[in-house]
């Protein structure tokens, strides 16, 4: 049986050990976005870069925080959540791009997810399908307050969906690969 590293050793995928990451973690998908995020901080230091998992830790206005890319998809995000929690991360905020089906949500708007419909299948490995994926209310309120204080004009709060596939899961046409989810948008 494979033995997983303790929280004192570097985690297998993210290559971080206890103390490398702050308790607060921003999680973009794209590794290149980690440096872009950290460019707004007062200080930053690269911790690791292994596969799609790139991490930086630094400070912003006296608060220690980290950013760690997850790569694409829910399975990679599960690796980030599992391994980062082993080394002391307690608050995860997914940041990055998203699609929308409401006509009033425009490109560049901020979406703050209060909960998610779990169409990803990875989360079923951890909880039963009926279990709701609801955001922590303190983090949700902090994100809304930050949007208000920063004067973010176009932000939306609501239920989103997480899918296992970029194309079929988002009802994007792929003529050469017909899917069985043609009616996913009317269902949501």
Residues 135 and 167 in one domain: yes
Measuring CA to CA, which residue among 24, 4, 140 is closest to residue 82? Answer: 4
Between 147 and 107, the higher pLDDT residue: 147
When pLDDT is cut at 50, 70 and 90, the band that residue 137 belongs to is very high
CB 77 within 8 A of CB 95: no
Calculate what percentage of the chain has a pLDDT beyond 70.
90
- In order, the DSSP letters of 96-159 are S-----STT--TT-EEEEEEEEEESSSGGGTS-TTS-EE--HHHHHHHHHHHHHTT-SSEEEEE
Residues 22 and 63 in one domain: yes
Residues 40 and 77 in one domain: yes
Distance of CA 116 to the CA centre of its chain: 12
When pLDDT is cut at 50, 70 and 90, the band that residue 182 belongs to is low
Q: Structural domain tally of the chain?
A: 2
Question: pLDDT tens digits, residue range 88-99?
Answer: 999 999 998 887
Domain that holds residue 29: 1-96
pLDDT in the model for residue 52: 97
pLDDT in the model for residue 7: 57
Rounded to 10 degrees, the C-alpha dihedral 145/149/154/155 comes to: -10
Residues 39 and 126 in one domain: no
pLDDT in the model for residue 168: 75
Distance of CA 62 to the CA centre of its chain: 23
Output the six-digit token pair for 15.
């290559």
For residue 184, pLDDT over 80 is answered with: no
pLDDT in the model for residue 44: 98
Residues 139 and 61 in one domain: no
Residues 60 and 18 in one domain: yes
Average pLDDT rounded to a whole number, residues 21-45: 98
Residues 122 and 170 in one domain: yes
Residues 34 and 89 in one domain: yes
Residues 134 and 164 in one domain: yes
Average pLDDT rounded to a whole number, residues 118-125: 93
**Residue carrying structure tokens 């303790």:** 6
pTM above 0.75, yes or no: yes
């Amino acid at each position: 049986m494979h033995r997983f590293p303790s929280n004192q050793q570097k985690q297998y995928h993210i290559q971080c050990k206890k103390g490398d990451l702050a308790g607060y973690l921003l999680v973009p998908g794209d590794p290149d976005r980690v440096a872009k995020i950290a460019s707004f901080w007062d200080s930053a230091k690269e911790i690791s870069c292994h596969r799609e998992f790139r991490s930086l830790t630094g400070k912003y206005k006296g608060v220690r925080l980290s950013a760690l890319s997850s790569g694409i998809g829910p399975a990679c995000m599960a690796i980030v959540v599992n391994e980062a929690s082993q080394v002391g991360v307690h608050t995860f905020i997914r940041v990055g791009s998203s699609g929308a089906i409401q006509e009033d949500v425009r490109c560049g708007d901020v979406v703050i997810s209060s909960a998610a419909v779990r169409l990803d299948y990875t989360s079923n490995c951890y909880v039963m399908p009926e279990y709701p994926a609801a955001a922590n209310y303190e983090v949700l309120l902090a994100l809304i307050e930050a949007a208000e204080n920063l004067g973010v004009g176009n932000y939306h709060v609501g239920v989103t969906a997480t899918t296992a596939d970029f194309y079929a899961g988002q009802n994007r046409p792929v003529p050469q690969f017909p899917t069985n989810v043609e009616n996913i948008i009317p269902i949501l």
